[in-house]
Structure 1
Amino acid sequence: MNTTATDQPTRLWNTRYGVAAAIPTIDPVARAMQLYGEWAEQEIDLLSAIVEEGHSVLEAGGDYGAHALWLARAVGLDGRVHVAEPRRIAFQQLCANVAINGLANVHTYPVWLGRSSGRSTLGALLPETSSPTEAVRTETIDSLALDALHLLKVNLRGALHDVLTGATETLRRHRPMLYVRLSGIDMAETEVQAIKDLGYRVWSHVPYLYNPANHAGHTANVFPGIVQQNAIAAPVESRFEFEERLEL
């Protein structure tokens, strides 16, 4: 059944990496999953050269599990995917997709990963949220005490400074790769510098939201010219190179 952006879609969507419980297509992630059966596939194209079987990955911001479905496959049964999602409905959707795909190696957390542990509201943390008064629990990445971490992926715009501030010990101990969504022209310079100050080299990555080779074979581009402003970073000591990317 076809739907519009305000309709309640059919019950399940078939995506490139598994099935997803359908939700109203009120944001780009949900709309892409419905129309194309995938979300920001160019991010996965880049990360597929980094994520290996047995790795441990942490996502800050769940994006309904769109990339967790792939990450769970990529790290295999011996790996771990940790996903923190502070928004209540988005967290429930994430858990539904993890459950219906039987992803035993994915661990979910209904928290905002920030600079301290406590309580806050979505409005104070994500100014663009549609639920500004919704209460959320805040935790630091350091408080998760992860045994291993090979990739930290930050999906929420405006979250990067908080995430890094609360992850100082984890980054010092595990030295993971970083893949982050920058927060726009007003904050990007300071965000990139904050990553560099932690002993990382940083490269630009600007994936298009539309993939002509999308899973559903949908030829209409509903995101014309739209890209994500992202960055990928590697510890200086790793001597990792992204020769085709612009170093920031």
Structure 2
Amino acid sequence: MIDLSAIRRESVLGRALRAPLRLIPPATVLPIAQGPLRGARWIVGSATHGCWLGCYEAEKQRLCVAYARPGMTVFDLGANVGFYTLLFSRLVGAAGTVHAFEPVERNLGYLRKHLALNGVSNAHVHPVAAGRRTGRADFDPSRDPRTGRVVSAATPSTLTVPVGSLDDFVYREGHPPPQLVKIDVKGGEGDVLDGSDRLLSEERPTLFVAIHGLDQWRRCYELLTRRRYRIEDLKGVVLDRDIEHDEIVATPG
């Protein structure tokens, strides 16, 4: 799999490879070119070109293939425009279910369009942010739709969005528990884990967690090791608390 993201934008090769991509109209729908989502229909301007090229987060895609199985229930937290929602939908098959959580209207529009373009019937969209407790929170949507996040204080640019904890989603609302959870919530990962205490203790799902900063790394490490999770990087190397990592896989011990 060619990973365009591994080639620096500022390099001569990076500029040469990316220049033609700017000529493609943003509304163009193309089949994803390679990888486990090959052939899926994708809106070019919805996200980075790596998505429709199929090379976006190639290593993480390989892990999804390794862990997601037919019939599983998967939660996609921070679903954005639906790349991983589509991937999990394909991997779990008709007998499985994907629940996609995304609070940003712009992203929700593309997420729903991608599901419709691909005739997906086993994925359910929830227009909420995952967090510590159910309620509402201030959310900074950011100029880059990939980096919106829940914030502690409102500013002129923030929005108020609904928030739900996974414990409430499963045990109060009655949704089947997941066997696999992908978390990419731009600095809110510790709050998501706090709001999943019962789920992690009783159901023991595998977790893919994107970590944003040293404080979140240490917080997540403590939360997960206290619940007897084994923490590895994407290559399967067991991790130490004192060395920050930005992507982890947590499996029940």
The TM-score, its normalising length taken from structure 1, stands at: 0.75
CA shift for structure 1 position 71: 0.9
What corresponds to 1:202 in structure 2?
A: 231
| 1:137 is aligned to 2:195 | no
CA shift for structure 1 position 100: 1.1
| 1:66 is aligned to 2:90 | no
5, 13, 33: which one pairs with 2:51?
A: 33
What corresponds to 1:148 in structure 2?
A: 177
What secondary structure sits across from 1:122 in the alignment?
strand
**Deviations 1:114-143, CA, capped at 9 Å, x for gaps:** 11111222137159xxx9422211111112
What secondary structure sits across from 1:121 in the alignment?
strand
Following TM superposition, where does structure 1 have runs of at least 4 consecutive aligned residues deviating by more than 4 angstroms? none
| 1:100 is aligned to 2:125 | no
What corresponds to 2:42 in structure 1?
A: 20
Q: What stretches of structure 1 of length at least 5 have no aligned partner?
A: 208-227, 237-248
CA shift for structure 1 position 206: 6.9
Structure-2 separation of matches of 1:63 and 1:107: 14
CA shift for structure 1 position 2: 4.7
Work out the percentage of aligned pairs sharing the same amino acid. Answer: 24
Q: 1:3 to 1:9 in 2, by over 3 A?
A: farther
What secondary structure sits across from 2:119 in the alignment?
coil
What secondary structure sits across from 2:108 in the alignment?
helix
Q: What stretches of structure 2 of length at least 5 have no aligned partner?
A: 1-18, 141-148, 237-244
Structure in which a larger fraction of residues adopt helix: 2
**Deviations 1:177-218, CA, capped at 9 Å, x for gaps:** 0110011234312221211112211012279xxxxxxxxxxx
Structure-1 separation of matches of 2:228 and 2:22: 46
Amino acid at match of 1:119: R
Q: 1:126 to 1:40 in 2, by over 3 A?
A: farther
Superposition pairs for residues 45-194 of structure 1, below 5 Å? 45-123=62-140, 125=150, 132-145=157-170, 146-194=175-223
Are the equivalent residues in 1 in contact too, given 2:102–2:128 (CA < 8 A)?
A: yes
Structure-1 separation of matches of 2:48 and 2:216: 26
Structure-2 separation of matches of 1:184 and 1:139: 23
TM-align CA RMSD: 2.7
CA shift for structure 1 position 41: 1.9
Amino acid at match of 2:82: G
What secondary structure sits across from 1:205 in the alignment?
coil
Q: Which of the pair has the greater relative contact order for Cα pairs under 8 Å at 6+ separation?
A: 1
State the aligned residue count.
Answer: 208
**Deviations 1:138-195, CA, capped at 9 Å, x for gaps:** 1111122231311011022212111111111222221100110011234312221211
Structure-1 separation of matches of 2:151 and 2:55: 24
The TM-score, its normalising length taken from structure 2, stands at: 0.74
Are the equivalent residues in 2 in contact too, given 1:121–1:136 (CA < 8 A)?
A: yes
